[in-house]
Structures are given as C-alpha cells and as structure tokens.
C-alpha cells in the first residue's frame, strides 16, 4: 500500500468512526427521551453561524408594542386589515433570454393571480405608472445577466418601497426529481427567521403579495426561509398517505434571494432615497456572524 492510498484509507476510517459515534449518541438520546418523556433534558443547540450570530440592536422581540404600532401605519397596513386585495404584475428586462422567460413562467405558478406584461421597449417608470393606473398593488421585474435571471425588483404600489434582490440557485420544475404538478390554488405561507426590523419589513412585503386566505384545497405551501441573509424559496404540496402519515412533494421552482437595497418610494435609482443598502464594510466586514434580516 503506497503512502497516498494509506492516507486516503486513514481519512476514510476517521470520517466513518466519527459518523458512527454521532449515530450512537443519537440513538442513546432518543432512547433516553423515550424513557424520561417530558423530563428528558432539552436538546443542545448546535453551534452554527446562525445560532452564534452577533447580537443586533434591531432584533425584534415578540409582542414589541413599538413595532406593532409602526406596522399598523406602514405601507402594507391596508393589506393586513384586508382593505385591499393583492394584484401583482410581472415583467422582465427588455429582450429577455429564454431562461428568464421560463423562470417568469414558473413564477406565475407561485403567484397564481399574477399577470404577465411583456416589457418590449417600455421604461420601468412607464410600467410603474401603467400598473398604478390598472390598480395593481405590486410590480415585479426580473432582469438578467449572462442570459440568466439575475435581479428581482419588487415595487409596492402606489407609493413604495422598492426592494432589489439578487437571484441565485434557480432550479426549474423540469430539473427537479419527480416534481408535483402546479395548480392555480393560492398556497399557504411560511416565512421563517426574519428577526430584525429590516427582516420584518421584507417579510411583510413578501407576504402582502399573496391573498390573505390560502386555498386549502390545493394543499400547497410556499416557504421563504431566511438563513444568514439568504432567503431560500421552496413550494411544496402536502400528500396524505393516511390520517397519520403526511409527506411533502416539491412543486418548484427553487431559487434564492439576497436583499441588495430597499428604496423609499417607487423605482428611482438616481434620485431615490435608500432606506437600506448593503455595504460590506458597514455590514460587519469580515464578521461572518453578523446578519441584517
């Protein structure tokens, strides 16, 4: 056995032994939980970048009266009071590539009530005015780079704000393994881990693009999961094998969003006032445990 083969074997054995030790600890813990029931010791929280994140003064505590009062008068207050019904217009950059067109087509299954408007040579300000005139509550624009979806711009109408997200990790339905068929039912929503003031605003914006009441007949659920400022999107369907056994099947598409800036008011990159913008040096620099959402 040469030196390289010996090192590979030693490394393989080391990884295997660590895995078996972990498996054994897990079995012992489950056995103890079964024996002690409610008196079992609590599970230890794993040490990850998320659980060890740097404390942020903008963290929102549950039941914060100041936050609740602000949200009663914010841009989405009418939606949460059920005074308006969400109406979304989706468009693209000028002359979009095939990949962008396919992505937008699948986004329309995420937002079943959304309407697509071909961009052609229209300017964003013209589209914004048109959407307001037609009583849309939100305008979504998908731009591209290197012939792939690159930015998602969401403008809440008629007064803003406007969010700029970077898109990554796009996987269309056809590339998923055994995906469920899409339907026109409004999904349930699951927005997880938006814990700061900025995170709350982003989650309220995303939530307000869906009707308040989901159509439970569709048995679908849309998840926006924030983890280290990356918002992972998934769309699943519940499958009831029996009254006790429930599993989920992914519908698609998959994609990840990262907030780049939040602009007060409507789309205006030259004269608009930024409520928040990502700057690496100001957002913790090399501190990998500092997050904004």
Greater model confidence, 157 or 52: 157
Which of the four pLDDT bands, split at 50, 70 and 90, describes residue 213?
A: very high
Give the pLDDT score at 262.
95
Share the mean pLDDT of the chain: 88
Structure tokens at 254: 């998959």
Residue 220 has pLDDT above 80, yes or no: yes
Instruction: Please compute the mean of the pLDDT values over residues 126-141 and round it to a whole number.
Output: 96
Structure tokens at 258: 């990262």
Considering 7-11, 71-75, 231-235, the range whose residues carry the highest mean pLDDT is 231-235
In this structure, what is the dihedral angle of CA atoms 259, 260, 261, 262, given to the nearest 10 degrees?
A: -20
Give the pLDDT score at 52.
53
Lowest mean pLDDT among 27-31, 160-164, 257-261: 27-31
Greater model confidence, 35 or 96: 96
Which of the four pLDDT bands, split at 50, 70 and 90, describes residue 173?
A: very high
Give the pLDDT score at 16.
82
Residue 284 has pLDDT above 60, yes or no: no
Give the pLDDT score at 276.
93
Prediction pTM value: 0.81
Lowest mean pLDDT among 62-71, 129-138, 212-221: 62-71
Q: Concatenated DSSP letters for 2-14?
A: -HHHHHHHHHHHH
* Digit-coded pLDDT (tens) for 32-58: 777 777 666 666 666 555 555 566 677
* Digit-coded pLDDT (tens) for 189-207: 999 999 999 999 999 999 9
Cis-peptide, bond into residue 13, ω within 30° of zero? no
* Digit-coded pLDDT (tens) for 135-147: 999 999 999 999 9
Which of the four pLDDT bands, split at 50, 70 and 90, describes residue 287?
A: low
User: What are the φ/ψ torsions at residue 13 (nearest 5 degrees)?
Assistant: -65, -40
Give the pLDDT score at 244.
77
Give the pLDDT score at 40.
67
Give the pLDDT score at 286.
53
CA distances from 225 to 14, 20, 203, 263, 285 (A): 34, 31, 10, 22, 24
| Residue % of the chain over a pLDDT of 70 | 88
Give the pLDDT score at 64.
80
Helix (H) / strand (E) containing 2: none
Greater model confidence, 29 or 51: 29
Measured between alpha carbons, how far is 173 from 249 in angstroms, rounded to an integer?
Answer: 12
Residue 255 has pLDDT above 70, yes or no: yes
Beta strands in 39-197 (DSSP E): 88-92, 115-116, 138-145, 148-156, 162-171, 188-192
């Amino acid at each position: 056995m040469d030196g390289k083969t010996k090192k590979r074997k030693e490394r393989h054995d080391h990884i295997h032994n660590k895995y078996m030790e972990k498996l054994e600890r897990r079995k012992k813990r489950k056995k103890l939980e079964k024996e002690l029931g409610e008196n079992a010791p609590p599970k230890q929280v794993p040490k990850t970048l998320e659980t060890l994140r740097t404390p942020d003064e903008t963290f929102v505590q549950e039941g914060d009266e100041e936050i609740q009062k602000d949200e009663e008068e914010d841009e989405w207050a009418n939606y949460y009071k059920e005074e308006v019904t969400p109406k979304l217009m989706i468009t693209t950059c000028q002359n979009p590539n095939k990949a962008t067109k396919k992505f937008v087509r699948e986004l329309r299954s995420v937002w079943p009530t959304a309407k697509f408007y071909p961009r052609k040579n229209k300017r964003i300000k013209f589209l914004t005015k048109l959407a307001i005139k037609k009583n849309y509550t939100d305008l979504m624009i998908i731009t591209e780079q290197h012939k792939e979806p690159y930015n998602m711009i969401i403008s809440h109408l008629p007064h803003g704000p406007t969010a700029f997200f970077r898109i990554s990790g796009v996987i269309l339905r056809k590339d998923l393994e055994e995906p469920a068929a899409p339907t026109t039912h409004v999904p349930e929503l699951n927005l997880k881990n938006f814990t700061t003031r900025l995170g709350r605003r982003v989650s309220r914006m995303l939530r307000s693009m869906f009707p308040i009441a989901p159509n439970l007949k569709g048995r679908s659920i849309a998840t926006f999961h924030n983890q280290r400022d990356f918002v992972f999107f998934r769309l699943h369907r519940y499958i009831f094998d029996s009254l006790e056994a429930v599993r989920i099947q992914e519908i698609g598409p998959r994609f990840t969003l990262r907030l780049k800036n939040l602009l007060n008011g409507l789309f205006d990159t030259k004269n608009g006032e930024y409520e928040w913008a990502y700057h690496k040096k100001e957002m913790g620099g090399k501190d990998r445990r500092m997050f904004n959402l």
